[in-house]
Structure 1
Amino acid sequence: MAFVKFHQPCPLCDSSDAASINADGSAYCFSCYKRIPDYANPEENVQDFKTYKNNSMNDNEGSFSALTDRSISLDTAKKFGVKSTSSPDGTIISHSYPYYIANEMVGAKIRNCKTKDFSWRGSPKGTMLFGQQLAQTGGKFITLTEGECDAMAAYEMMGSKWPVVSVKNGAGGSVKDVKENLEFLESFDQIVICFDNDKVGKEAAQKVARLFRPGKSKIVQLPDEFKDPNDMLKNNRGAGFMAAWWAAKTYTPAGVLDITDMKEEFFKNDEKESIPYPWEGLNEKLFGMRQGELVTWTGGSGLGKSSVTRELEHWLLKTTKHNVGILALEENWKRTVYGLLSIEANKRLYIKQIRDELPAGELSRYFDKLHDKENAHRLIVHSHLGVQDVEELFSKLRYMIIGLDCKWVVIDHLGMMTSAMGEGDERRAIDNIMTRLRSLVEETGVGMMLVSHLRRVDGNKGHENGVEVSLSHLRGSNGIGQISDCVIALERNQQSDDPIEASTTRMRILKSRYTGEVGLAGHLLYDKDTGRLNEIFVEEKEEVEL
């Protein structure tokens, strides 16, 4: 029987996570060492392990014999002091694993081979690791396993050359067991960890490896078809076990790589393709946009941030086969769709009076052209104006990306998300949201475009007067610029008396992690007849900071 739930609270002691639950509803606590036959109703049937009043035992129950149910020889069983009981027909009934303090046997862990339950004679408290009494302190190698039979199996397959010990309480209690015997294990040059070949065992091996000084621990990766060392012994795969044992890699914390070992991974062609922007000025500095990047678009109020992202949404729908998700938190979903149809038609169809001038059926034809046939089901739009709960919004984002396969998402805007946090500290709320967005990009590889506002600047002129934007103008937190892969600002003097200047937006790159290039990246002229942003080329002198 195997545990199906781990790190559960124990109803018998103060531990919040030491109990593990079996498939039949029974449980065992690795803190108070008690078995709970019915975890759901512990008060009715709790059974304490048998213990002696003193902390010593004179003998271990059973007799020495080969553990035929585990393919472990008589010599190995004798070496570890493991006895067994058998039925008249020779079937093994139980194993008895001795546990020591120094050289004195003080307890035995009894395994019922039929039910696979455990009980104790004597007391497990303060005992050493299983098999530790056989090993002298210090040496080149020691192997650490998840169970007693695995320790004996590994010892046998290694030809009895090096000491092998096991934790007392399986994967769930492994960290506690190792901490109690850390000085002994640290006395060896190398600690080779060989836990079970399942998710729980692998996670426990990582946690145990962290306890040792850097470079001392190695983790064995068993062949996929075997669940533990004893399984390999039973299948006569001693040579395969030794190959895996010698191939064990030194544990390093996640995210720390020895590049010499990473050559094959390094040359895998897993880079995302660059999708060109619709404007050449951006392409010259950024070499397009890529999935797996978080790009923040910023600018003053009313300076065209939504118009620019709408052009990009339409561009992705027309030039790629990728699904696109839009979370426009300040507008109704129909307004979002009208905005995209306007770009498709080169007419401002979001204005009712202009729509009314269209011939019958023409609006439907534009809709079908953008959202039917090969483009069907590619545009996913958030349908609720505003956001009441940021957790709900992140749930929708994940669904768009993972459930509906959106390769690109546009969020307009960060300020609306921040207000839904209910956090009094705006900077902290922004940092929290930006970190979560960054994690989502890293996890899923989505290409994310985020709209963010600017704070008001000191002086007589504001951003509506065309003030040059810098990263310090981002509203609320430096985390926006730090976490984003790219930050692009929009500048426009909308108060200019010159109608061309008042309709021309400058695109300024404030940060580009991919290319490192910053500075002015082009001009977009708004066409009032079509509602489109068209790139124009303007001679403009400017210093660029690198």
Structure 2
Amino acid sequence: MLPAGESVFLRHEPCPACRERGLDLDGDNLARYSDGHGYCHACGHYEKTEGGEAHASPSRARRMSAKPFTPLETSIKALKVRGLTAETCAHFGYGIGNHRGKPCHVAPLYDKEGRLCAQHLRLEGKDFKWLGDTEAVGLFGWNVWRNSGRRVVVTEGEIDCMSVSQLQGNKWPVVSLPNGAQSAVKFIRRALEWLEGFDEVVLAFDMDEPGQAAARECALLFSPGKCKIARLPDKDANACLLAGKGKELLDSLWGAVPYRPDGIRSGADLWDDLLKPPQPGYDIPYPGLNAKLRGLRLRELYLFTAGSGIGKSTLVNEIAYHLKMVHHLPLGVMALEESPARNARRYLGIHLNKPLHLPEAHAAVPEADLKSAFEAVMGKDWWIYDHFGSSDIDTLLAKIRYMAVGLGCKVLVLDHISIVVSGLDESAGESERKVIDKLMTKLRQLVEETNVMLLAVVHLKRPDKGKSYNEGRQVSLTDMRGSGGLEQMSDAVISLERDQQGDDPNAALVRVLKNRPIGDCGEAGYVRYVPETGRLLAGDGGEYGFGKERPEKEKTEGQREDF
């Protein structure tokens, strides 16, 4: 202790230097004296009297604490309550001492040069205190073993360390963290060079969540394949010793496998997966598009885009209906631009080959036929999200996840992505681009996690110049409204191109803009809207081809320009 002159001790206070390092939890390491100066007996932090220089900086405190300290005297005894023999305690220098009139366990801590630099005191009631230079301490017990070898076990505390060592006859390297799981990464990093000298490192931390979380975090510090995490048969190593589970504990240490973070697999483990053929696609009722995509697959995200009123929603509904009725895939619909009843009429109209959105067509269908179609299409495995307009992203994703996981939907329709973000308050720092990036990333994750197929509609930006998309303008990936996330996170992007004012306004060209699974992009045939049935069917673009001039005498009346 530094000289205090004629001053006398007044009280204990928190030590700021110890608190910076997460120590002095009881707030009594610093001794305050009558002349105003203070001294920490744990780390050596010194504060001058009022009127002198400013308090010692942390660097000065570290220099002071690096000086030799006066360790507590200890005696070696068996710790019967812990099941530890005197021989084991002597092996590690773990003794019994007295701190301020209170008996305590004393664990010696050494620096990398092998010098005693601190003592870790364990008092009654799991009250821990430090003496000496805590900035220099290494792992408990590392001074006992040589600097390399086949294997070293690291536990969370000194008692656990000695428990494992005793079960191994005190012959094989075992060390422990000096301050528990909360500072595990700090001390493992400090001792990393020493630990890397062993062929393998086994982390035998406590089995509670803090212990296992610390083990996973520490394992990432090591060279690949070196670190293993043991699954102990009880809450910690000492509990195993006391419960007579010594053999099971040693088996768990020897049976530990190299730690591999979630999501990383060895190539050698993939053979069984590679024996399985690639997932076949579900065919769709458009031969040209079906040939390009080789059908549609689960765990894939498909975007459909076109100008306003060109027919992208109609195309998606036709495909979704086919997947449900022909392939029997449960369907979940999020039609954010129309009511559930209006959307339901779309699907019933496809089933009945009737444009049920028109009042006269709806009135012409007998109720019995309508009821039969309703039961066939919506009586089972058809769900819809009852919401109109923009939606909070997290709320929408929760609904989608519930449809996939809770209701078992395998095909999901999101119509459309653009309206999801239309109600954003950009003054709150949420730009459309950022929100669409976030939405697409989370949709991509959800599709993978839940093994579903997502058919999503997205709008186009207005072209700067030239003809509009309603005049048959060719669509490219960069025309999609929002962000690059639309292109990057999707598996395939399909566009429709149609001239609403042309000679064949009911014919549209299908184009594949992106095709990650297959790679085949380009024109994918034609579709034709049939006003009499309200259906969008596969077609060849007409006798004269899409966009070609048709003789005046063959033009017909009543062609629908918006489907």
Given the two structures, how large is their TM-score scaled by the length of structure 1?
Answer: 0.78
Q: Alignment partner for residue 176 of structure 2, among 160, 163, 166?
A: 166
1:397 CA drift (Å):
2.2
Aligned-pair Cα RMSD in Å? 3.6
1:504 aligns with 2:514: no
1:520 aligns with 2:486: no
Residue equivalent to 1:259: 267
CA deviations over 1:417-447 (Å, ceiling 9, x no partner)? 2324434643333222211211222232221
Mapped partners of 2:153, 2:411: distance in 1: 48
**2:282/2:296 contact within 8 Å kept:** yes
1:342 CA drift (Å):
1.3
Mapped partners of 1:262, 1:233: distance in 2: 39
Mapped partners of 2:340, 2:165: distance in 1: 67
Mapped partners of 1:235, 1:391: distance in 2: 48
Q: Which amino acid letter does the alignment assign opposite residue 204 of structure 1?
A: A
**1:333/1:381 contact within 8 Å kept:** yes
1:134 aligns with 2:140: no
Q: How does 1:300-315 map to 2 (within 5 A)?
A: 300-315=307-322
Residue equivalent to 2:336: 329
**1:57/1:107 contact within 8 Å kept:** no
Task: From the superposition, tell whether residues 170 and 489 of structure 1 become closer, same or farther in structure 2 (CA, over 3 Å).
Answer: same
Mapped partners of 2:169, 2:108: distance in 1: 22
CA deviations over 1:357-393 (Å, ceiling 9, x no partner)? 3334543343223222xx1xx2221212102423322
Q: How does 1:371-390 map to 2 (within 5 A)?
A: 371-372=378-379, 375=380, 378-390=381-393
1:30 CA drift (Å):
10
Residue equivalent to 2:91: 79
**1:441/1:448 contact within 8 Å kept:** yes
Q: Which amino acid letter does the alignment assign opposite residue 471 of structure 1?
A: L
**1:220/1:249 contact within 8 Å kept:** yes
Moved more, 509-518 or 172-181: 172-181
1:305 CA drift (Å):
0.8
**1:110/1:121 contact within 8 Å kept:** no
How many equivalent pairs are there? 489
Q: Alignment partner for residue 466 of structure 2, among 446, 460, 469?
A: 460
Q: Alignment partner for residue 104 of structure 1, among 116, 119, 144?
A: 116
Moved more, 49-58 or 390-399: 49-58
Q: Which amino acid letter does the alignment assign opposite residue 470 of structure 1?
A: S
1:408 CA drift (Å):
2.1
1:350 CA drift (Å):
1.9
Task: From the superposition, tell whether residues 342 and 216 of structure 1 become closer, same or farther in structure 2 (CA, over 3 Å).
Answer: closer
**1:70/1:230 contact within 8 Å kept:** yes
Residue equivalent to 1:410: 413
- SS at the partner of 1:290? coil
Mapped partners of 1:58, 1:507: distance in 2: 83
**2:76/2:89 contact within 8 Å kept:** no
Mapped partners of 2:169, 2:117: distance in 1: 26
1:297 aligns with 2:304: yes
CA deviations over 1:441-498 (Å, ceiling 9, x no partner)? 2232221111112223455322222233222322233321121111111122222123
Mapped partners of 1:97, 1:339: distance in 2: 76
Residue equivalent to 1:202: 212
Task: From the superposition, tell whether residues 159 and 320 of structure 1 become closer, same or farther in structure 2 (CA, over 3 Å).
Answer: farther
> Any gaps of 5 or more consecutive residues in structure 2?
1-13, 32-39, 45-64, 98-102, 547-563
1:306 CA drift (Å):
0.7
Residue equivalent to 1:530: 533
CA deviations over 1:147-188 (Å, ceiling 9, x no partner)? 223322332344434322111333222112223434443454
**2:24/2:129 contact within 8 Å kept:** no
CA deviations over 1:228-258 (Å, ceiling 9, x no partner)? 4445545555555555445544445554443
> Any gaps of 5 or more consecutive residues in structure 1?
1-11, 16-28, 37-45, 86-92
- SS at the partner of 2:422? helix
CA deviations over 1:181-217 (Å, ceiling 9, x no partner)? 34443454543323234544333222112233x3373
Residue equivalent to 2:356: 349
Q: Which amino acid letter does the alignment assign opposite residue 132 of structure 1?
A: W
Q: Which amino acid letter does the alignment assign opposite residue 268 of structure 2?
A: T
Q: Alignment partner for residue 451 of structure 1, among 412, 435, 457?
A: 457
**1:220/1:244 contact within 8 Å kept:** no
Residue equivalent to 1:284: 291
CA deviations over 1:8-39 (Å, ceiling 9, x no partner)? xxxx9999xxxxxxxxxxxxx99533557xxx
Residue equivalent to 2:22: 32
The structure having more radius of gyration, on CA atoms, is: 2
Q: Alignment partner for residue 473 of structure 1, among 475, 479, 494?
A: 479
Mapped partners of 1:13, 1:449: distance in 2: 61
Identity of aligned residues (%): 33
**1:220/1:247 contact within 8 Å kept:** no
Mapped partners of 1:76, 1:467: distance in 2: 83
Mapped partners of 2:439, 2:404: distance in 1: 17
Mapped partners of 1:261, 1:60: distance in 2: 56
1:488 aligns with 2:497: no
- SS at the partner of 1:516? coil
